[in-house]
Amino acid sequence: MIRNFLISVGLSIVFSVSSMALPLEQKIGQMLMIGFYGTTALPNSQICKDIKNYNIGSVILFDYNPTNKSKPKNIFSKAQVRKLTKQLQSCSHDGKLLIAVDQEGGRVQRLKHKYGFYGKFPKASDVVKMDQSQIYNTYKQMSKELKSVGINYDLAPVVDLDINKKNHVIHGLGRSFGKDPKVVASYAKTFIKAMHSNGVLTSLKHFPGHGSSVGDTHKGFVDVTNLWKKVELEPYSLLKNSADTVMVAHVFNKKIDVKYPASLSSKTINGLLRKKLGYKGVVITDDLQMGAISKKYGLKSTLKLAINAGDDILLIGNQLDPEKVKSTKKLVDTIVSLVKSEAVKEESINSAYRRIQKLKQKL
């Protein structure tokens, strides 16, 4: 016990010293999850240079290429993905680059059958028809496949409650485990345990609840004020000690914040999720280029609000609008200028950096 205590004290000292010693740009780099175009990451590629120069903390892989439908964006075969993730890790400073995909099952699985993956994992609404051991084995198989190609971060499970039959984003795609928060939390816990069995990190989504919504935040502004129910917070409360990370949605909810959508709201993240519900881990945004954000806020304002709200990982997928690809340099330079002008406190960057390093210890 004393030994464990000394190890944890030692690590916290190392973190505080290393976070002081690291250049600001490289601490900011750890906060970025970048989407990029390419099925390889050779040393002279832009993504590899960005990971090296800016100490990027995470990347996200997609199969669908919005700029050229006849070519893959990052994924076209098992061997290729395995090679890509090895190349990406070799570009990173610590060999612990977070390499993420959305792999839920059902319609949302990036590792598809046509690329040589299993690709037939069931959606959440079908998973609930299985018994617990079947569910665990299903998700263990999923985690094994992720691990086999070097993916260490799954942006799942969905813990939204299935409480609105008109919701085509969650209910319509069968992405929810059900209406009862205890049942949903139980299935999510099984998912997390199965992922951890192969060293894959997870993310609960979409805080503070997307199950009651009607609109799609990919396309634009979604106000859930009159539909949202407090019960949607319960899975997060039940899972706060099991969760690796929590993804925050772009839904707007006047009951929580009259001014900003959840992902840019300090009342939602620092106030509700961290202080009230007591969640201590990493918070990741949903893609900040989704219509709900990009149509209303400029880049500088988005980054300022997201960091001040308490987000740790800022997801820039470079996926939704080929004409609005954001370079890592632009993102880092913008955040540096926000710190220099004191629009963002450097301590917010340091806090996010420390939480991310603690998360990476689990790998």
Local confidence pLDDT in tens for the 363 residues of the chain: 555 544 555 555 445 445 558 999 999 999 999 999 999 999 999 999 999 999 999 999 999 999 888 999 999 999 999 999 999 999 999 999 999 999 999 999 999 999 999 999 999 999 999 998 999 999 999 999 999 999 999 999 999 999 999 999 999 999 999 999 999 999 999 999 999 999 999 999 999 999 998 877 677 778 999 999 999 999 999 999 999 999 999 999 999 999 999 999 999 999 999 999 999 999 999 999 998 898 899 999 999 999 999 999 999 999 987 778 899 999 999 999 999 999 999 999 999 999 999 999 999
Catalytic, 286? Answer: yes
Which residue is catalytic, options 63, 244, 286, 287? Answer: 286
9 assigned to some structural domain: no
Cα angle 295-300-306, degrees, rounded to a multiple of 5: 80
Residue 5 within any structural domain of the chain = no
Residue 20 lies in a domain: no
Q: What is the DSSP letter of 121?
A: P
Q: Which residue from 52, 75, 207 is spatially nearest to 146, judged by alpha carbons?
A: 75
Using a cut of 0.85, tell me whether the model's pTM lies above it. Answer: yes
Q: Domain count of the chain?
A: 1
Residue 195: CA atoms inside 13 Å, Cβ hemisphere, count? 27
DSSP E strands in the chain: the ranges are 32-35, 58-60, 98-101, 103-105, 108-109, 153-154, 201-207, 245-248, 282-285, 314-316
Q: Please identify which of the residues 93, 180, 216, 218 carries the catalytic annotation.
A: 218
Residue 169 domain-assigned (yes or no): yes
Nearest-5° Cα angle at 138, 361 to 79: 70
The residue range of the domain holding 309 is: 26-360
Say if 91 falls within a structural domain.
Answer: yes
β-pairing, 58-60 vs 32-35, is: parallel
Has residue 256 been placed in a domain? yes
